[in-house]
Amino acid sequence: MAEALRVGIAGLGTVGASVARVLNEKAAELTRQCGRDIVVAAVSARDPKRDRGVDLSGAKWFDDAVKLAEKADIDVFVELIGGDEGPARASVKAALEAGRHVVTANKALLAKHGVQLAEIAEKKGVLLNYEAAVAGGIPVIKTMREAMAGNQVTRVFGILNGTCNYILTRMEAEGISFDACLKDAQRLGYAEADPTFDIEGHDTAHKLSILTSLAFGTRIAASDIYMEGISNITQADIRAAADLGYRIKLLGVAQRTDSGIEQRVHPTMVPTASVIAQVHGVTNAVAIETDILGELLLSGPGAGGNATASAVVGDIADIAKSRPGFQHGPVFGWPAKELKPYKKAQMPSHAGGYFIRLTVHDRIGVFAAIAKRMADNDISLESIVQQSAGPETEAQKTVILVTHETTEAAVRKAVEGVTKDGHLTDKPQVIRIERAE
Ligand SMILES: NC(=O)c1ccc[n+]([C@@H]2O[C@H](COP(=O)([O-])OP(=O)(O)OC[C@H]3O[C@@H](n4cnc5c(N)ncnc54)[C@H](OP(=O)(O)O)[C@@H]3O)[C@@H](O)[C@H]2O)c1
């Protein structure tokens, strides 16, 4: 049998401790599958005394993750610390430069420094595997990188943040407000004490930026993503969406257009009958649309110790199965040096259907004035209804519009016009509609 694969794990929190446990508990199966043992030879975390719930007595302790990456007697460095700078970046870079394979679950690091790290890995002829960094346990990286050769991706989109999907699912199922849902999610451990990163879309954007690069062969451009979170979604939106045959999801969408590549994260209305609309709670999903395959949807657990560890262990096993001298495929599907500059499609040129909810004074002529503003901007309406149910008082009404395909620029201009006309009693709500099978 080949020599054991020696693994060093930096970070023994939710994911790191689970990875160590799975490697221990599944040692016999992994040896049979990989044709060699996988042993945890070194570990690092902040607190050497903390009980990690797993036997690490065979592993050498390092206070410093960078030292572990550089000096430990290991073949693979597994980074599970987190963060886009500091010890995570320094240790991954050090491991790659020392010619060690790296496995990481760190989307923030890859979104910021992924291309630079990929260049080092490819120069050194080692693997940089990161299946767990996007959608946790769902094998989307492998699918896009390995199983779809020759396909031209036209669009990739998904529910990439469990916290947001959990909140939106409960808002719809139980009719409760965003704030009440968020508090409950925090109490149950589905949302962080500071939830901004999740609910404002940053986490989704990090993952989307990696998918975009895999899909279109472009350099990662996380800072170029248009982003809106879910904190202004109300019960009125959720009810109106349901009446119209839609469900609201926070989607990350990357799409090839005539003017470049769109990358956007925002609340989106998807048809209730579509497959992605059936993805509830903390579950994640990624849809990939290509010229050869059509639309593929992968769905499953996007976070949590075990699900994430499953993806990390899969990445380690791939390294265990690879043989010395074997030429590894490029990190982002195309050689890092050949990734094209990201050509950004400007948001105002985004084309699609729109849901517009306006709370207006209950006066004669308002309805006609709104319709005129839409027509003046060449917006063709699929429907315009005045709602009797909802937050109205006698003095105000809700007008719900659904547009046929139009542009973001036209919608913004029309809504600006309606606002200037002085008919609104509250902020207008605009939600994009996404085509989904
Ligand atoms: N949790 C998930 O469900 C999930 C899902 C997908 C991806 N990820 C990614 O996986 C990574 C780890 O997440 P997590 O949830 O496991 O985080 P976590 O529970 O906060 O664990 C972080 C670990 O890093 C250790 N650490 C912190 N600073 C360190 C340093 N300077 N040197 C060595 N170790 C250090 C901590 O040590 P102490 O324990 O001693 O404090 C802790 O063990 C992140 O990149 C995250 O984005 C997580």
Residues 108-130 as b or e (16 or more Cβ within 10 Å = b): bbbbbbbbebbbbbbebebbbbb
Alpha helices in 127-246 (DSSP H): 140-146, 162-174, 178-187, 196-199, 202-216, 235-243
Q: Residue 357 and residue 229: Cα distance in Å, rounded?
A: 17
- Write the pLDDT tens digit of every residue in 142-165: 999 999 989 999 999 999 999 999
User: Strand locations in 272-391, DSSP E?
Assistant: 283-290, 294-301, 351-361, 381-387
Pocket test for ligand 1, best of 14, 117, 209 (most atoms within 8 A of CB): 14
Confidence bin at 2 (pLDDT 50/70/90): confident
Place of tokens 């930096």: 10
Amino acid at 343: K
Q: Whose CA is nearest to atom 39 of ligand 1?
A: 13
What confidence score (pLDDT) does residue 328 get? 78
What share of the chain has pLDDT > 90, as a percent? 92
What confidence score (pLDDT) does residue 318 get? 96
Catalytic residue among 207, 249, 372, 397: 207
413 in active site: no
Ramachandran quadrant class, 99 (left: phi over 0; alpha: psi -120 to 50; beta: rest): left
Q: Residue 357 and residue 274: Cα distance in Å, rounded?
A: 23
Q: Residue 11 and residue 17: Cα distance in Å, rounded?
A: 8
- Write the pLDDT tens digit of every residue in 247-303: 999 999 999 999 999 999 999 999 999 999 999 999 999 999 999 999 999 999 999
Inter-helix orientation angle 235-243/162-174, to 10°: 70
What residue ranges line ligand 1, CB within 6 angstroms? 10-16, 44-47, 50, 65, 80-82, 87, 105-107, 132, 136, 303-304, 308
- Write the pLDDT tens digit of every residue in 266-279: 999 999 999 999 99
DSSP three-state, residue 364: coil
How many A from CA of 45 to the centre of ligand 1? 9
β-sheet bridge partners, residue 265: 227, 252
